[in-house]
Amino acid sequence: RKEVEQDPGPFNVPEGATVAFNCTYSNSASQSFFWYRQDCRKEPKLLMSVYSSGNEDGRFTAQLNRASQYISLLIRDSKLSDSATYLCVVNLNYQLIWGAGTKLIIKP
């Protein structure tokens, strides 16, 4: 089992829709979690950290479920500019473990 798993997609979603994807992690001792956004062939950019109580930043909501060992990202009212690859990152003992990313394509 991979340490961090993501559905590679692509998720094809119409503009304005709500989309959500999950990321599962294998090590229950994982300490912190992040979502990164990456545009084609560019460096990933931190989208948001994921807190135990869940957190929201504008149209983006991140949640953590420690019991089931997954984190989720919800995007509301999707925009064309949201098209990107979303990377899940888990911090375990100060090592960052990266998922392979979920590709999201927003269509007009």
State how beta strands 102-107 and 11-14 pair.
parallel
Is residue 87 a contact point for another protein (CB under 8 A)?
A: yes
Q: Is 95 in the site for another protein (CB under 8 A)?
A: yes
Shortest separation between residue 16's beta carbon and another protein, angstroms: 28
**8 A C-beta contact, residue 93 and residue 31:** yes
Please state the three-class secondary structure of 3-26 as a single string.
CEEECCCCEEEECCCCEEEEEEEC
d(CA 75, CA 84): 12
Confirm or reject binding of residue 1 to another protein (CB under 8 A). Answer: no
CB within 8 Å of 95: residues ≥ 6 apart: none
The only residue of 22, 38, 69, 72 in contact with another protein, by rule CB under 8 A: 38
In the list 17, 20, 80, 96, the residue contacting another protein (rule: CB under 8 A) is 96
**Residue 9 touches another protein, criterion: CB under 8 A:** no
- Residue 35 interacting with another protein (CB under 8 A): no
Place of tokens 């989309």: 19
Which of 13-21, 25-33, 35-43, 67-75 is the region at the interface with another protein (rule: CB under 8 A)? 35-43
Q: Is 51 in the site for another protein (CB under 8 A)?
A: no
Counting contacts by CB under 8 A, is residue 105 touching another protein?
no
